[in-house]
Every structure is written in structure tokens, then in C-alpha cells.
A and B are shown apart, each in its own frame.
Chain A
């Protein structure tokens, strides 16, 4: 290694050795470039998945079939789920991790820079596989994002494409997670102990372990479907000695931690933003770390609460009910800590703070409907109804997406060197929160009244709320274009951002100039 010509002496020259044009992006190993690519990719997928959601809501605007046939409708719900989870939300937070973790811990780059390039470039082929499966004979997978057999065994080649895409996406996120763990454990600035790490780093450390633990489980489950489909195995076929419910156990052993893979980095982002705009340190740093770890551990032992209606023994139902209720305690601690951070702060309400407060408010609402669902007897009534659709969109959209926006607005000045348009940012927030609630709040009532999820058409009693929900969805979808405008404007110009544009912000990322130069912390800073 010592023989690399010109290595350390020409640190400022690195740019000159890079290819230019498109190859600069294909070959880059710089964490900031890769972070940006992750963020752009995830936003593109967010729009694609969003268009599918709008097809769904357009069909449900009125009873009767108008826009798509039932088979296409099921393909839309399946791809919408898969794309939003694996294509939009997860890569968005990996993007934040790539950009911010080295800056926050004073490292020069991610631990495995070359692998970092690979973990990003696996994503586009997977995205192409998923979306192009709409065009093959038989269409895309139409089984819901959970891909339950035996239905998945019936599908055409679109299903195989989805399975392959899930494999690739899983490999990508495992590689990304290994990188994050190694970076966080080995490359912190001198003086930064684990318990002094910014909370965003802590949440990603915990999330990365979750990803490494459960992604192979999902890979195993979909591989078993693949062999059931093509190689005559009977993992999930009762006629051959298998069990369709086995799949659900395996899937949810992945799927429940997955919920927290999406939510925990979001906790990290708001834990950075709320103290900054409260001008007061985060309340209960240590208990935040412990609570997040407890949530992660508990997430492994509650998987079957998605399966109360499959016919498990009553002892199983009771165990999973009690274990699920326990999650409310560490989650409650986190919410209380955030509120206590704001308490007697000196609050200001720039866009990142607005999105964080929106997150706090709506995520808690989603948490409460989760507590209602933890009651087995109630869950049995609400399972696979629109109540569940409302619940997980409050957790996923208000939880993950709102905090991703909070993070994006918070760090945009650091990324671009310009302040974003505060007026447009606020407009984006208010439009989002109003239309989000319009879309999803009424779905609680639809579920309570008895509307199943994943149906393209419904009986007349559900008409009013579905219409409100669809109008809200179109409003929510269009509002997201405001964000695109804000980002493009911010890249092109705007008020110059100082190294530390937020007076309450803390952390090493604010010690480097804005925009953050291509290479930072070539000598590790000393953290006090």
C-alpha cells in the first residue's frame, strides 16, 4: 500500500485523478457523492412509488371499477409497498448515514469506500427489475409486499423478478450496514467515546445491526418461495408436507424488525434537530440510547402480532400481546424525552423543526393506534382492515418520511452551501401535514366500519371517507413536488450558508465549511 505514488502528499489533488462526466459518479468512492446519489435515488423511487399510490387512490375515489382492473390494482399495491420500503425510505436514511456519519464522528470517509460504491450501484438494477416487471406477461407480483404463499406460487415471471430484486436490495443494505458499523466503531475522532456519539450515529449503529440480522432471513424466505415455484420443493405447500403459515413466521421475523429499521434512524434525525431548534441539549441522552436498544431487542420477539388470525394457540396470542405492549414503554420514554427537550427551551420553528414536531405528533398517534392493535381481541377485528393501513402509514410516512424531510432541510445548507427557501419549506410542511391527515386519518374509520385492505372496489357505505382520502392523497402527492423545487433552488443558489447556519446546532459536522468540501477531516479532529 505504501507504494501508491503521490498518496498522502497530494491530498488536495485528489479531484484531478478522478474521471469526469458520468464516470465520476459511477466510480466515486467519496462518502458525500455516494450519500447524494442515495438521496436522489430514494427521492426518485419515492415519486415512482407515489405515482402507484395515486393509481390506487384514483381507483378508490369512487365505488366501482374505473381506472385499473383488479389484477393491476394488486400489482400496484405490491410494488408501492416494496418500492417505498426498500427503494425510498431505507436508501434515504442510508444516504443520510453516508453523508453525515463521517462528518459527525470526524472521519475522512466510510470505512470501506469501494464497497460503499457497490452498495449504491446495486440499487438501480434492482429498481429497474421491480418496475419493469409491470411490463412482462402476467404483470408484476400481485400478492402484497408481504408476498404470502401460496398466492405467490401462482404468479408469473414478474414474481421472480421481484424476488431477485429483493435479493439485490437486501445485499445492498447489508453491505451498507457493515460499512456503517465498521465506520462507527473504528473511525471516531479521538476523544469521542460511544456515549458521546451524536444520537443519529447511535441510532444507525443499532439499525445496522438489525439490518445485518434480519435481511438474510428475508432472503431465505423469498428463496424458499422461488424453489417452491420452480424446483418442486414444498416449504409452504401443505400437500407436500409444508406449511403456508411457516412463511409468515419467517417473513415477520424479518418484517417486524424492518419496521424499526425504518423508524430508528428517523428517531436519530429528530434527536439532532429538536435540540438544535430548542437551543437546549437533548434531554436524557443515556436513556435515549437505552430505549432505542430496548426497542431493537424487543422488535425481535413480537413478530407474530401480525398473525393473530392464522390460528395460533391462545398461549402464543397472549405472549405476543404482552411482548408487543412492552414496546410502548421505551417508545414512550423517547417521546417524553423529546418533549422534555423542548420544555423550557428557546424554540424557533424553521422547516426542520416543523417537520420534527410533525413527526413527533403523528408518529405518536401511529404509536397509539399500534397499542390499540396490540390487544389481540381488537386486532383480530382490525387485522387486514383499513385501520391497519392508517396505522402503518402514520408510523411510516409521518415517522420516517417526515423525519427524513427534517433531516434534509436541516443539512441542506451543509450539502449545498446555500440556505434553502424558508417560505417554500414551510409551505411544503403545512401542505404535507394537512393532506397527510386528510388521507390517512379517515382510514381509521374505514377500518373500524369493516373495509378490508387491498380491495379495488368497496361497498357504498365506505364511499365518503374513500373520497376524502383520495383527494388528500393527490394533495399530498403534489405537495412533495414543492420539496423538489426547494432542493433545486437551493443547489442553484440562495443566501450563502455559514459553517454553522443554525445557532443551536451542535456537532463536528458544523465545524467544516458549507458546502462541505470534497475531502474533510484528513487529520482527525480532537473531540472534547
Chain B
């Protein structure tokens, strides 16, 4: 059982750890002193022990004293606290800058500056549903595991920019002593410099809807050589997976891709079988929108539907949107036979 903050792996994290410990000890000492006096009264000044009440009811000296002394104790606490917060907020001179975007309910990462510039991927919970539903035993990192970890090198100053696509999320990794809200429409920033390699886990810390508890953050701190190798591999993989925007697809090509996009983006609400969780999350099977004109469905995916939890998904690529729309129109008994092409999405975007 853990009784204190997670062991920090940054200098700032150690400052926070020490500050918390200092505060706890100071508060603990005052607590014991004050309630020592009170419990002395409780035991000694009892009516049942025949104690007669005194009649005093004020003492200006004592009252001034116990107003002034806490001021000095607080000043003593404020000093280290101020130093820590000033260091924490200095996000200048970063080696690598990464943008973390909160989506309902996953994290998108874009490496904006420094080694690895141009890398971008989405990181989603990888714990299987049967574990959540208690059908199989839970794994060691239950709910704290993702398909794509954020990889950064040890010893470098990493600046994290946070923003969000739909609602407010918060990027929190306790061992790095970092927590920053991700606010839609705004960019916030924070930073860390890890002193140890290893894998560190955190979670979204701002209530962001139904799957708020299922939005982990996993940061893998590696050596500089390992990082260089990872960047190289990731770049090649991204180049290989890049879509040709003008390609015309067949339904057989798009549906397997669409199934993956659906599982990562839609299944949390509409369920893997398309049945949804009515009335909050409507079924897609037999849905008027899915079986209706393509334009209507494209519009909802691009712009969301106000007054409901259906968010805009325009951050997905044209090919991904085309794939997922084609998939929903041809799965679970929906059989329109229609294929939506990336070019259709492109037109709709404009």
C-alpha cells in the first residue's frame, strides 16, 4: 500500500515531494500540539472528575500571539513553495516540443519541434473489454496501458503543449510531477526533464464524459540511442502507412480499415456491435442517419451534433472518415452497399 506521492523522477518532482512532506510534518506537529491541549482538557477538566470551571473568557495577549505566530509559520512555508512554482512554470528552451490533444477519449500526440519532428499518432486504452467486465482476470497494468506510448529521451527538457478537441481534459503523469488542463480552443504548456528511463503511467484528470476513467497516459523514457532508433522506425512506418488522398477504394478495402477506426473512436458509445446505449447513445444499426443520404452522415462526423455527446471528428483523415462511414453503412445488417470515398470527405470539408 502506498502512503505518499509516487516516487518522482524529475528534479521538480522531488521539490514537490519534499514540499508536501514538509507541509505534512509542520501541520502534523501543530495538530498534535493543539489537540494535545484539547485532550488534556477532556481528560483533566472533566465535570465528572469534579473539576470546577474557571471564568476567564479572553486574553488579548494570547489572542494577538496566536494570530502573529501562524503568520511567520506561513511565511516559512511560502518561501520554498514560491521557488518551486516559479521553476515549474518556466517552459522556455525546450529540447523537444510535443503537442498532446485530448479527444473523447484518447490522446493525440504531435512531435512539433526537436528530434522526431513530424511524428504524430493517437494513443488509446489497450486494456481489453472482458477485463473491465470482470470476465477474465485483470492484467498488471489494468486501465493504465495504451496501444501507442509517448516516447521521449531521458535528460532532455520536454515541453508538452496541451489542447483539446471537444471538452476539457487534463494531462497528468504523477511521477513526472506534471498536470496540465487541455482546454479546447486554447494552448497550455508544461514541461519535464526525466532523470531515469522507464515507463510511467498517468490518467486524464478532468471529468470529460462517459469514458473519463479510461483515458490513460503512458510515457516511456528511453536513452538517446533508443530514442533515435524509435524516431527512425516511427518515421518509416508513418511513410509506409500514408494514404494517397486521390485513390478510389473498393468496399472490401475500406471496411477492415473502417472497423479499426470504429473500434478506436466510436465503439465506446455506439458499442462494437453498433447497438449503442440508448437513449444517450443511439444505435447505428437501422439508424436513419446511417441508412440515409451520405451527406448527412458526413456532416455529423465532421461537425458533431450539438446538445448530444456526439463530438466532431474532423481531426481524423479523409481516408479514415471515408473508411468508418463505409464500414457503418455496410455492417451489422446495414447493407447499403455504398462506398464513401476520401474525395467525398474532402469536398464536404470545403
Contacts and interface: CB of A to CB of B under 8 A. Distances in A.
A and B associate: yes
Interface of A: 63-66, 69-71, 74, 137-139, 142-144, 148-151, 153-156, 229-230, 237-239, 243-245, 278-287, 309-311, 314, 317-318, 321-322, 325-326, 328-329, 332-333, 335-337, 339-349, 357, 360-361, 364-365, 368-369, 371-372, 375-378, 380-381, 383-385, 445, 448-450, 452, 454-461, 464-465
A304 to B, nearest CB: 13
Contact of A151 (B4, B15, B63, B209): B209
Contacts of B57: 280-285, 341
B89 interface: yes
B82 A144 contact: no
B53 A285 contact: no
B19 A378 contact: yes
Given A452-B172, A452-B204, A377 B19 contact: yes
Interface string B183-207: 1111011000000000001111111
Contacts, number: 299
Contacts of B81: 321, 375-378
Nearest to A450: B174
B132 interface: yes
A138 B305 CA distance: 14
Given A245-B186, A342-B38, A342-B42, A364 B24 contact: no
Contacts of A348: 46-48
B121 to A, nearest CB: 23
Contact of A238 (B54, B185, B279): B185
Contacts of A452: 172, 203-205, 212-213
A241 B195 CA distance: 41
Q: How large, as a class, is the contact surface on chain B?
A: 35 or more
Contact of A284 (B37, B58, B141, B166): B58
Contacts of B66: 332-333, 336
B74 to A, nearest CB: 5
Interface in B1-37: 1-6, 12, 15-16, 19-20, 23-24, 27-28, 30-31, 34-35, 37
Contact of B133 (A64, A278, A347): A64
A359 to B, nearest CB: 12
B41 A342 contact: yes
A347 B47 contact: yes
Interface of B: 1-6, 12, 15-16, 19-20, 23-24, 27-28, 30-31, 34-35, 37-38, 41-42, 45-48, 51-59, 62-63, 66-67, 70-71, 74, 77-78, 81-82, 84-86, 88-89, 131-134, 138, 140-144, 166-168, 170, 172, 174, 177, 179-181, 183-186, 188-189, 201-214, 277, 279-280, 306-309, 311
B67 A333 contact: yes
Given A377-B16, A448-B5, A454-B212, A347 B45 contact: yes
A372 B53 CA distance: 37
Contacts of A342: 38, 41-42, 45
Given A150-B167, A279-B53, A310 B183 contact: yes
A345 B180 contact: no
A71 B307 CA distance: 16
30 contacts: A64-B133, A70-B210, A71-B210, A71-B280, A142-B210, A150-B167, A154-B307, A239-B184, A245-B183, A317-B89, A325-B74, A329-B71, A339-B35, A341-B57, A344-B56, A347-B42, A347-B46, A347-B51, A348-B47, A361-B38, A364-B34, A372-B27, A375-B19, A377-B16, A384-B205, A448-B6, A448-B20, A452-B203, A457-B143, A458-B213
B279 A137 contact: yes
A344 to B, nearest CB: 4
A309 B180 contact: yes
Given A138-B280, A450-B6, A459-B142, A143 B186 contact: no
B85 A455 contact: no
B27 A335 contact: no
A521 B206 CA distance: 54
A150 B37 CA distance: 50
Given A314-B89, A328-B74, A372-B24, 15 more contacts: A74-B207, A148-B207, A287-B63, A318-B85, A347-B41, A369-B27, A371-B77, A372-B20, A377-B16, A377-B177, A384-B205, A445-B1, A448-B2, A455-B213, A459-B201
Nearest to B15: A377
